[in-house]
Amino acid sequence: MIHHEPFHGLPRERLMQGPTPIQRLVHLEEVLGERRRGVSIWAKRDDLMELGGGGNKLRKLEFLIGQAKAEGCDTLVATGGIQSNFARLAAAACARTGLACELILAQMVPRTTEIYQANGNVLLDRLFGARVHILNRGDDGGAHATRRVQELAEAGKKAFVAPLGGSTTVGCLGYVDCAFELSRQSTEIGVTFDHIVIPNGSGGMHAGLAAGMVIAGSHPSRIAAHTVLAPADKCLSATVEKVAAVLELLSINARLTPADLRISGTQLGDGYGMPTHSMVDAVELLASTEGLLIDPVYGGKAFAGLLSDIESGAIEPQSNVLFIMTGGSPGLYAYADVLTSK
């Protein structure tokens, strides 16, 4: 049985109510019919968390806020894109735990519509009480965060910086824990998942899952990741580095090579946050068959990859596939012009 000893002594602020459920997508399978080639499709509902609208970033924030409080910080400064899910959940987590929150949001996506700049996650950032700094195109979010930390220090505050996606080595621990959770749930329901499909943005989720699977005695090549931020080769090298850092932090004597990880660039399209036809089709398919919402930046592209891999045979007939639903549905409202253009 997997237990939590690897986290002994590491500060953690609980933000979740317990394990997120795993559900079989029976109606989707029926609608796909022969196209699904006998593949069983399951979803792990990391969108079903009670805080801040839910989503995978809360797993990272449990350890990041734990670290911030352990260091005596009173303010969290988080960086991300305009429609950052991490920023939204950082704001919600700070509201819950009593930290002040400042969000440095950079123009990472060339979308200038009013709904993109002010709706979706940005609307929620403000509702959760964060101080939102929206940068001009070309401004450096990291540099702005550094300046802001200094300004806060001069005002007698102590700030903790959470970078893009919260994908620090400590942040990755949230998905190490998720790997243990998955191992337990797989045993409980009697299903071994041949493929675990996820998006890879800043790499923390993938790195944490891979490290956790190594610790749990499973092989991380079962994880089929679809990059949504960087070209596949850059994404792969960055993720391998993060896995190594996590294993070192936990004093685990193991190493992974790029050959141990699977990252596809087929769904990236024109880049981060840029819509693709396959993403729109995937979002609409899951919504119309299961009543489930996946976001247009991460989950939509990863689920499009899952469907494509079933059709191509990359996901073998009769196999069990688990799709991790990472949340981010507020982003749908920022892409309303794309999703309703048919």
Concerning whether 218 is annotated as a catalytic residue, the answer is no
Closest CA to 242 of 15, 60, 9, 71: 60
Q: Report the CATH architecture of 57-166.
A: 3-Layer(aba) Sandwich (3.40)
Q: What is the pLDDT of residues 202-252, one digit of tens each?
A: 999 999 999 999 999 999 999 999 999 999 999 999 999 999 999 999 999
* Residue 265 CB partners (closer than 8 Å, separation 6+): 226, 227, 231, 232, 235
Whole-number pLDDT of residue 212: 97
Q: How far apart are the C-alpha atoms of 322 and 306, rounded to whole Å?
A: 10
Whole-number pLDDT of residue 3: 46
Three-state SS across 16-32?
Answer: CCCCCCEEECHHHHHHH
The rounded average pLDDT for each run of 10 residues, N- to C-terminus, in the chain (342 residues) is 68 96 98 96 97 97 98 98 97 98 97 96 98 96 96 98 95 97 97 98 97 95 98 98 97 95 98 97 98 98 98 97 98 94 64
Q: What is the pLDDT of residues 85-103, one digit of tens each?
A: 999 999 999 999 999 999 9
Residue ranges of the domains in the chain? 5-54+168-339, 57-166
Same fold, 5-54+168-339 and 57-166: yes
- Reading phi first (left if > 0) and then psi (alpha if -120 to 50, else beta), residue 129 is in left
Question: Which H or E run contains 58?
Answer: helix 57-70
Choice among 84, 218, 264, 278 that is catalytic: 84
Torsion of CA 173, 177, 183, 185, to 10 degrees: -140
Asked whether 220 and 200 are in contact (CB, 8 A), the reply is no
- What's the CATH code, domain 5-54+168-339? 3.40.50.1100
Whole-number pLDDT of residue 1: 40
